[in-house]
Amino acid sequence: MKDLVEYIARSIATHPDDVKVTEEDDGGQIVLRLEVSPEDKGKVIGRQGRVAQSMRTLLRVAAVKRGARAVLEIV
């Protein structure tokens, strides 16, 4: 799941080398923190949060396949 979020964010970002995703298991819930450069934050979030919401939806589908819950935080 970490690879999925990283792939999507790197595809969108102007500075793909600054994309960093950390994964944390929080008692049955996986928390993914996405860090991007300040210039790319708007692109990753998208207009009215549409890109971020789409990433969260894809992440949720991948998590259900693994039998877990996942949360995406954009830092």
Claim: this prediction has a pTM higher than 0.85: yes
Q: At residue 60, does pLDDT exceed 90?
A: yes
Q: Over the stretch 6-24, which tens digit does the pLDDT of each residue have?
A: 999 999 999 999 999 999 9
Contact status, residue 9 vs residue 74, Cβ threshold 8 Å? no
Fold of the CATH domain 2-74: GMP Synthetase; Chain A, domain 3 (3.30.300)
Instruction: Break the chain into its structural domains and give their ranges.
Output: 2-74
Q: Over the stretch 26-53, which tens digit does the pLDDT of each residue have?
A: 888 999 999 999 999 999 999 999 999 9
Strand partners, 70: 30
* CA separation for the pair 67, 71 (Å, rounded): 14
